[in-house]
Structure formats: C-alpha cells, structure tokens
C-alpha cells in the first residue's frame, strides 16, 4: 500500500518543525530583514492598506520577487499579513512606520545597526575576556564613539525617545508625582518622562539635565508646560543641578558598572538635602531566574557597554553605599520598575 503525500499549501512537510535552536540561529536573518524593509520604507507604503509585492517594489525601487520572499518570511513573525496576493501591516508591523505614535522605527534601526551587529559578533571574545564586544570592534567605549559620530548620536537619541514613548506614559501613570516643587531629570534625554510628569502635575516645575547636544532637541516646548521647565547641559559624573525636590534617573544605571553607578549616585547625593527623593527607573531582574524581558537587554549591556541589568538586592546595595535608603519598588506596565529611595542624613561616601 502506498500513501500520497499531502500537497495542500498549508500542510507542513514531514519533520518540518521549527525548534527553538533553529529559530535562534535564524535570529540575525530576521533582524536584517526588518532593517531592509525599514530602509526601503515598505511599512510606510502600506499605511493606506494592502498592496501587492509588485506595487510595493515599483514604489520603493526594489525587486518584486525578493521583496515578496522577505515579506512572506516576516509574516511568520507577525509583522505582515498576506492575503489574496497582497501584503498588509499587522498591529505589530505598524510600529515600523515613521509617522505613527509610538513608532519603533528608530529603535529597530539602532539595534540592527552595524554597531550592535559587530558587538554581537564579538560575544565569543567577551566570554573569554569580559570586555565589551563594541570596544573590541571600535577601540573606544560606546558613548565616546557616539560623541565622535553625530549621526550615530542622533540615531541613539531618536531610538531612546521612540523606545520609551509608551513606557514614559506607563511609568508616569504608576507614580504619584508631587503637586508642587521641582523635579530634576538626570540624563533625561529629550525629556519624555519629564514632560509626562509635568503634564500630570500642573503645579510641578522641572529641570532636564543631559548632554548639551541632547537637551537641545528637548520635547518640553508645549504651551501647556510654558514657563515651568528649563534645560541644563552637563556631565552627571561631575555635577548635577542642586535644589530639586525629586530626582529622576531613568535607564541610566544599567549602562554602567557598579563603580560608575556609585559615582553617579554620589554626585546626585552631594547635590541634594537629606530627605530628598530619588526615583531610579530601570528593569529589576527577578532573583529566582524566572523569565523577564530585560534578560535579553542584559546581554546588550554585556556586548556594548560595561553595564548590566540588576536585581532588587543589587540596586539596594548601590543606593546604600551612596547615601540613599531604599523605600520601595513599584512595578509598571513597562519593562522598567520604579525604585524609590531617599537621601539619608549620613555623610556622603567618597
């Protein structure tokens, strides 16, 4: 007796099962395919509805056959949907457009940039030496490279803004910001979180502190916030604005090793009075090894900078050693949690 193979289009070939290992091995292919469709503006061309690969190719200056194959593969990852010979964006794929709220286009371009690809290629050396793969590839630390390459610095700032847009809303909504006083956002980028805080608390004033070239592109210039904020450029390793009632430190500590985190925290502590609150916004890894989305980000820190994601106990140790007392940790809908601390009355450690 013979059997006839099932040749229906939706019937998988015998043994055609994707294992987790196989999916991981293809990871860089998916990433580069995402980058390719962004570079050619494919998602933007689908803003008004489905189009065929031929139509998309003509409008984007690409070739229809390879484009169809790329989109067909990315459809299996939930970014596109194919029906009746045409492709449409899914909800997830919409984030690849440049003109939508919460766009992840800049973030995807950053994490698929050669800076990250070359860093990842050096992970075998990182395991042997402990040195970031980025420094092996480029010969300088990551942030020094950004300072020397304005186009990469702009990409980084744009990615951080797009990556944290929704997160800023989630974070601000999870914390009761004061109705008055001054909040100082240390290393606050373009001020997305500060804008959310000031918007929610009309009596609050704010200071945005970061590199001069970063704060120059701030997001605070709205009529609603007029007269309630100022920007200041500087280096949080040496000095920060004094006199604030609440200090924010969002997604900063994970960029640095412990000794540099202590330098940053002690710089802040010297600028504030006892009792001043500090709100550290960072991912808090579970101590029991259970899954968490920041575990992958921890590897990005390993290969690009000398920072790391930390557990609650590790944050408490840093805070205690720099003159702060941990009060509580508040989870949010975002990847990050809110780590609330208070400046103690003890002398600031050197």
pLDDT of residue 325: 98
Name the percent of the chain lying above pLDDT 70.
95
Encoded tokens for 221: 């210039």
Work out the angle between the directed axes of helices 64-75 and 27-39 (0-180°, nearest 10): 130
For this structure, is 254 an active site residue?
Answer: yes
What percent of the chain stands above pLDDT 90?
84
Q: Is the pLDDT of residue 222 over 80?
A: yes
- Those residues whose C-beta lies under 8 Å from the C-beta of residue 273, and which sit 6 or more positions away, are 343
Task: Let me know how many helices (H) and strands (E) the chain has, helices first.
Answer: 16, 12
pLDDT above 60: residue 7: no
Average pLDDT rounded to a whole number, residues 106-130: 97
Looking at 28, 81, 254, 292, which residue is catalytic?
254
What mean pLDDT do residues 110-138 have? 97
Q: Are 188 and 200 in contact (CB under 8 A)?
A: no
pLDDT digits (tens, 9 = 90+) for 136-178: 999 999 999 999 999 999 999 889 888 777 788 899 999 999 9
The pLDDT value given to residue 160: 85
User: pLDDT: is 176 or 348 the higher one?
Assistant: 176
Which distant-in-sequence residues (6+ apart) come within 8 Å of 166 by Cβ? 102, 334
Tokens 């139509």 -> residue:
55
Q: Identify the structural domains of the chain with CATH numbers, from first to last.
A: 20-97 (1.10.10.10), 101-159 (1.10.287), 160-343 (3.40.50.150)
Q: Which residue has the higher pLDDT, 102 or 286?
A: 286
- Of 238, 338, 219, 237, which is closest to residue 282 (Cα–Cα)? 338
Alpha helices in 76-191 (DSSP H): 105-111, 114-121, 123-129, 133-138, 142-148, 150-173
Average predicted confidence (pLDDT) for the chain? 92
Average pLDDT over residues 126-143: 96
Instruction: Flag whether pLDDT at 348 surpasses 50.
Output: yes
Confidence band, pLDDT 50/70/90 cuts, at residue 15: low
* All residues at 6 or more sequence positions from 308 whose CB lies less than 8 Å from its CB, including other chains: 254, 257, 298, 301, 302
The yes-or-no verdict on residue 17 having pLDDT over 90 is no
Residue 1 has pLDDT above 90, yes or no: no
- Predicted local distance difference test score (pLDDT) of residue 198: 97
Q: What are phi and psi of 342, to 5 degrees?
A: -135, 140
Are 259 and 318 spatial neighbours (Cβ–Cβ below 8 Å)?
A: no
């Amino acid at each position: 007796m013979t059997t006839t193979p099932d040749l229906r289009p939706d019937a998988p070939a015998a043994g055609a099962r994707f294992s987790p290992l196989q999916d991981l091995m293809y990871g860089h292919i998916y990433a580069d395919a995402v980058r390719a469709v962004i570079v050619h503006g494919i998602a933007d061309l689908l803003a008004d509805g489905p189009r065929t690969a031929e139509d998309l190719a003509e409008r984007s200056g690409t070739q229809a056959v390879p484009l169809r194959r790329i989109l067909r593969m990315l459809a299996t990852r939930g970014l596109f949907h194919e029906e009746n010979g045409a492709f449409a964006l899914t909800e997830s794929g919409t984030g690849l457009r440049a003109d939508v709220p919460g766009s992840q286009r800049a973030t995807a371009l950053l994490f698929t940039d050669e800076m990250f690809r070359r860093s990842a290629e050096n992970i075998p050396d990182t395991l042997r030496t402990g040195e970031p793969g980025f420094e092996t590839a480029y010969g300088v630390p990551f942030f020094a490279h950004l300072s020397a390459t304005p186009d990469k610095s702009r990409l980084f700032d744009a990615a951080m803004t797009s990556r944290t847009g929704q997160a800023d809303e989630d974070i601000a909504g999870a914390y009761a910001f004061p109705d008055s006083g001054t909040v100082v956002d240390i290393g606050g980028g373009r001020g997305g979180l500060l804008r959310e805080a000031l918007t929610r608390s009309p009596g609050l004033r704010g200071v945005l502190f970061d590199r001069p070239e970063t704060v120059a592109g701030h997001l605070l210039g709205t009529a609603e916030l007029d007269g309630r904020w100022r920007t200041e450029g500087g280096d949080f390793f040496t000095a920060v604005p004094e006199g604030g009632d609440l200090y924010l430190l969002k997604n900063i500590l994970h960029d640095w090793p412990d000794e540099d985190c202590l330098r940053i925290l002690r710089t802040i502590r010297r600028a504030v009075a006892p009792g001043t609150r500090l709100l550290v916004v960072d991912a808090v890894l579970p101590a029991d090894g259970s899954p968490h989305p920041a575990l992958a980000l921890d590897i990005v820190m390993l290969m690009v900078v000398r920072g790391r994601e930390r557990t609650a106990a590790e944050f408490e140790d840093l805070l205690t050693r720099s003159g702060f007392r941990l009060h509580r940790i508040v989870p949010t809908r975002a990847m990050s949690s809110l780590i609330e601390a208070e400046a103690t009355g003890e002398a600031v450690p050197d």
